[in-house]
Chains A and B, each alone.
Chain A
Amino acid sequence: MYTFSNKLKTFSFILMILGALGVGYGFMTSHKSFEEVETILAAESAGHGEGHVEEASTMETSHADDTHGDSAEAQVNEHKEHVEHVQHQIANRPWSAFYVAAFFFMMIALGVLAFYAVQYASQAGWSPVLFRVMEGITAYLLPGALIVLAIAVASGTIGHYNLFVWMDPDVVANDEIIQNKSGFLNITWFTIRGLIFITGWSLYRYFARKFSIAQDTAEDNKNFKKSFRIAAAFLVFYIYTESMMSWDWVMSVDPHWFSTLFGWYVFASMIVSGITVIALIAIYLRTKGYLEFVNDSHLHDLAKYMFGFSIFWTYLWFSQFMLIWYANIPEEVTYFVTRIEDYNLPFFGMLVLNFVFPILLLMNSDFKRVPWFIVLTGIVLLFGHYIDVFIMIMPATVGDRWFIGIPEISSVLLFAGLFMFIVFTALTKAPLLAKRNPFIKESEQFHY
């Protein structure tokens, strides 16, 4: 049995407290008055020189729907609209930062749950020694997913439509495209869908965990067979709901834009981050002397998955990018134009972190067996996939007013602390070896 060391527990609490303070500070300082925003904008245009002023003024004109306002009144209106727009973007930042971090940690748990179900459905022989680690991580799914849904709904009810513009009735009234989608995109139906997804995932998680623990003391393989059956059913449910969840919770921040492979793209991010976290926690527990039955070959396989799914992620990222780039349809390319212009460094940086790093570091077979190499690549990958989620949400909510500062970092700390606390608490609840699993012997002797 694993015991949650006090040191780690304190550490997770420190993370949560620091994070909560930072998140609170982010929300407190995000409400700028009209005049404050005006001074910020004036300071920025003065600081950046003439070129930027011209650029800003052309941008302002493009914001307003009418043609060049010759009269002074039109110019005043334009100015007012632009300042209000920026004011809103600044107010959106703590919400978005909070949402990105919440989604990122939820995504890890969901990815692990899918990976776990695949192991059962395929009756994999190598992985049963890691089942308890995976079950521990998936314990975060229910609270994590509820938090994500709660933030999303709160942004449209107690917030000022800080994440999803389609929640704002004023926006919808003037937008025919969103009006046509409002049968699907409305807060009630959004909440119901979210609850259906979460219920389905959590039910599978609950029963899979129950059968897994019951199997430890069982005489026959009945529990394993039941778990096999529900895993197959869950995977069918998952592949539909994961895709719909990614439209709802991520893609709908840009309600005019859509991509048919978006669900797969989010899935790729999810599964890489999930497998990386399995590897990191397994290595951590092994160094603490808990998982003596996990050998280098298990790590090797996890690292192969990290490597393979990183390339899969890049493949989907590129498939989505290339088709839109090639077709060059204005309402589609705007998605990438914003990202390349306003998010140049994180947008291309994430390709380096999520593709170049793993391909170079994990290509060599021997490196995949070296724990510190996996840890190094794993940390880079997790950072890269955080940036990936960041790039999915931020351009729609804060535009070019982004920065990785106090709101972003403290949101990550808050959820990292919560994740650690829930996952390691769940790990203490059952023996770390699923000792009566029918494949456990094969798994323990697994070698390459």
Chain B
Amino acid sequence: MPSEDAAPQLDVDQILADPGVRIVVCCGAGGVGKTTTAAALALRAAERHGRRTVVLTIDPARRLAQSLGLSELDNTPRQVKGIDVEGSGGELHAMMLDMKRTFDDVVLQHTDPAKAAEIFANPFYQAMSSTFAGTQEYMAMEKLGQLHARGEWDLIVVDTPPSRSALDFLDAPARLSRFLDGRMLRLLLAPARSGGRSMFSFVTASFGMFSKVVQKVIGAQLLTDLSGFVAALDSMFGGFRQRAEQTYRILQARETAFLLVAAPEPDAVREAAYFAGRLRSERMPLAGLVLNRVHQPAAPALGADDSLAAAERLERAGGHAGTAEVLRAHAALAQQAEREQRVAARFSAEFPGVPTVSVPAQPADVHDVDGLRTIGAAISDR
């Protein structure tokens, strides 16, 4: 297929072995095997390339987490035992992101204990730290920044949150910054800064209507809580933004490699193409596309139509029922493979320069180290 030839082959081993690459970010739509891919790459980096690797997972399936020795969400990298690193000297550590704890740590780092206690007790903080749209994305980036700053690892592999759209992941830091810089926030802060009792005591008549509405809709109690929250956070704004910007710059650096993960389905490929466009416009280093769960017939010489026609002939003639069934299944598989190629070709037509690797669909789901090793080998297959 000419379109397939157009996409250069992605050499994952080259990325994993490159000492200049310190961060691999796996991103893509939900349900495409992102977490499994991240874990498989990290395992391979440790076992094959001898790198001291840490994999940051966001919300791994229970059995996959168990296979990595992650029995609880404790926000600390733990070494994965029982892997084959004797020859390579690598190490694999794994952790699950605890969003709230990461947020708490950020607060503690940027303010004194008394203020931190005040912030933790505020109902707005409680809501925001566990449910703020984008908190998970932001905290994943924050954690990445922390791991990177510690300098303990040769390679950090990051799984990204199952965002409603790939955008959230890149936008979270910017959104948080915008939010913290927002006009509204400044307005809310003004009285707190000037020591005013009422939030809107300072406002002009034209703003009066607005404050009345806000009071009416969200209630005075809420407004008080909000005011307290905003005032308490004020001291941390600079730090917040600075960190978000720092992480953003790390993501743009040469030491980072973004891998798009997709399955050969229209939605997932569309999302991947969208993300590829975003990465390009943000000048972030896109290393390639990992196309998971690709179906490939083991008897490629036999076409779908011939196979179906033959199955029908056999069924009409009687006998050879087993073969007819196998031929029908083969035809379905061959058709599926063709469809998947067409879907994948849409991506390579739009982004012809992006190296791609296809990972064959596994007959059963992966949830142990052996399975991850198999996937890792498949991703690296040339």
Whether A associates with B in a native complex is: no
